[in-house]
Amino acid sequence: MESIHGHNVLNMMLESGEQYTMESLEAAIQSRFGAQARFHTCSADNMSASELVAFLQQKGKFIPLEAGFNTAASKICRH
């Protein structure tokens, strides 16, 4: 199975314009990429959707909003 870069998830969040919770983001990731999908970033690999969400939160990739969070283009590295 091919690994999906975390940038794809952040871009999905931007395109949707939605506010997420940890649970709703994990569900959206599984809906878009599949329940068995694996993810990687520039510094980690072989993560499940829930592991990726926790990783992105820990890395400060989310912007808190009134009813959850989203992200911004400035939070996505471009290398």
What integer pLDDT is reported at residue 77 of this predicted model? Answer: 82
Identify the structural domains of the chain with CATH numbers, from first to last: 3-73 (1.10.10)
**Please, which pLDDT band fits residue 79 given cuts at 50, 70 and 90?**
low
Q: How far apart are CA 53 and CA 3, in angstroms?
A: 15
Instruction: Tell me what the pLDDT averaged over the chain comes to.
Output: 94
Q: Is the pTM of this model over 0.85?
A: yes
Q: How far apart are CA 30 and CA 10, in angstroms?
A: 14
C-alpha atoms less than 13 angstroms from C-alpha of 10 in its C-beta half-sphere: 22
Q: Does the pLDDT at position 67 exceed 80? A: yes
